[in-house]
Amino acid sequence: MKSFSKSFTQQEAIPEAGIDAAIEVMRSGRLHRYNTLPDEKGETDLLEIEFATYLGVPYCLACSSGGYALHVAMQAAGVQRGDQVLCNAFTLAPVPGAIHNSGAVPVLVDVAEDYCIDLNDLEAKAASSGARFFMLSHMRGHIADMERIMDICQRHQLFLIEDCAHTMGASWNGTKSGTFGDIACFSAQTYKHINSGEGGFLTTRHADVMARAIMHSGSYMLFDRHHAAPPAETFDQIRYETPNYSGRMDNLRAAILRPQLVDLDRQCQRWNERYRILETELGKSSLIQVPERPDAEEFVASSIQFSLPGQSAEQLQQVVRRCADQGVALKWFGGAEPEGYTSRYDSWRYIADMPQLPRTEAILSTLLDMRIPLTFTTDDCRLIGEVIVEVIESLQKNG
C-alpha cells in the first residue's frame, strides 16, 4: 500500500522580503497602524492601497481577521437586530456566526451538487423570506454563476456581502471575486491564500459603508489617516453615530502580507497546477466524483473536494481513517457532530427555528475535503491521489 509522509498543515515560509519588513517594523517599535510620522504611510496604509488596487476598488480596510471583517460588514451595511440574512447552509462557522453577532437571523440556503449555493433555493428563499441582505460564501473556493446571482440580487433588492475567504485571486468571467457585491470580505489566516496568521480585509465601492467600517474598526477620530478611504467629509455624521469595535490590523502583519500580495497570482497558478493533478488522479476511479469546474470560473484551488456517491456514513469514516493511516488527511463534512474546522449546519444550534435541509444533508453526507499546501510538490500530489484511489478501491473491493 502506498503512503505519504508530509504534513497537511505546513505552509511555505514567509518571503524574505516580508521577514525583512517585519524586522524593520519591530526595530521601529511602531507596530500600531496609527503610530506614524506626519505624512507617512505605514505598512497597513500601504497594504490597503495595494489590495484596493489589486481588486480595482476604491476602498479597503485591513482587519484583525476575516471573521471580524464579516462582522463589521454586517454592521456597516446597516443590518438590524432581527433582520433576515440569506446565507449558504454549506459554509464554515464564522459566516452564520457573523450574522448572529449582528443580532440578525440566518436564512440557510441549500447547497447544489457542484458545492455552490443552490440558485433555485436562493431564488425561492429570496422571494419568501423578505430578506434584504445576502451573505454569499464562496465556500472552499467554488464560485456559483455570478451573473444569475446578481440578477437575483437586483430583482429582490438584496444587499450582497461576498465572503471571499477562499477566493482571493479568483475570478468569474474575468471579474475578480469580491467585486460583484456591495461589500467583500477576505481572510489572511494561515490556511488562506496569503498568510499573516490572522488578518483580513473589507472592501467596498460605497463611501458611507467604508466610513462606518473604519469607525467600527477602531479608528477613533484618526479616520483621516486612512488612504484607501472616502474623503474626510464622509465621516461628518458617521463619526458620531458609529460604535468602536476595535479590530484593526497592525503594521507587523501588514509588513508580512505586502510581499505575498505581489506574488499572489503566481501562487494561485501553483495551487491550480496541483489541483489539476489531484483531479486527474481521482478521476481514474469511477467511485469518486469531482465536480467539473465551469469555464467561466477562474478558481484558486488551495483545497480539493470530492464525493463518494452511494457510500454510507460508516464507509466514509473508513475512508477517512484508512487515508489517515497512510498519511493523507481528509475531512468529512457530513458528520452529525462538529469536528475541527468542519461543522454541518444543524450543529449551529444558536439559530432559532433550525430548518431541515435534506438536500444539503444528502450532498454533505458523501463530501470529502483536503487541503493542498504549496509545500507539496506536483509529485506529492500525484502520490496523494494514488493513495486516495487505492484506499477507496480497496475498501469497495473488500466490501
* Torsion on CA atoms 4, 7, 8, 10, rounded to nearest 10: -150
Residue 294 burial class via C-beta count within 10 angstroms: exposed 0-12, middle 13-18, buried 19 and up: middle
pLDDT of residue 399: 67
Do 121 and 144 contact (CB within 8 A), yes or no? no
Q: How far apart are CA 348 and CA 70, in angstroms?
A: 17
Distance from C-alpha of 139 to C-alpha of 166, rounded to nearest angstrom: 7
Domain ranges of the chain: 16-262, 264-397
Specify whether the CB–CB gap between 368 and 320 falls below 8 A. yes
Task: Quote the DSSP letter at residue 156.
Answer: T
Q: Which amino acid is present at 330?
A: L
Instruction: Look at residue 93 in the predicted model and tell me its pLDDT.
Output: 94
Phi, psi of 170 (to 5 degrees): -90, 165
Same fold, 16-262 and 264-397: no
- Separation in Å, CA 83 to CA 74, 77, 178, 248, 291: 11, 12, 23, 27, 34
pTM: 0.97
Whole-number pLDDT of residue 128: 97
Chain-centroid distance, C-alpha 255: 22
* Cβ(135)–Cβ(85) below 8 Å: yes
**Given the C-alpha cell 455552490, which residue does it identify?**
116
16-262: which CATH topology? Aspartate Aminotransferase; domain 2 (3.40.640)
pLDDT at 397: 84
pLDDT truncated to tens, each residue of the chain (399 aa)?
899 999 999 999 999 999 999 999 999 999 999 999 888 999 999 999 999 999 999 999 999 999 999 999 999 999 999 999 999 999 999 999 999 999 999 999 999 999 999 999 999 999 999 999 999 999 999 999 999 999 999 999 999 999 999 999 999 999 999 999 999 999 999 999 999 999 999 999 999 999 999 999 999 999 999 999 999 999 999 999 999 999 999 999 999 999 999 999 999 999 999 999 999 999 999 999 999 999 999 999 999 999 999 999 999 999 999 999 999 999 999 988 888 889 999 999 999 889 999 999 999 999 999 999 999 999 999 999 999 999 999 998 886
Q: Is-contact 333 343, C-beta < 8 A?
A: no
CA distances to 40, 52, 130, 285 from 257, rounded to whole Å, are 19, 14, 40, 40
User: What is the reported pLDDT for 104?
Assistant: 96
> Which homologous superfamily does the CATH classification assign to the domain defined by 264-397?
Aspartate Aminotransferase, domain 1 (3.90.1150.10)
Cα gap 176→193, rounded to integer Å: 15
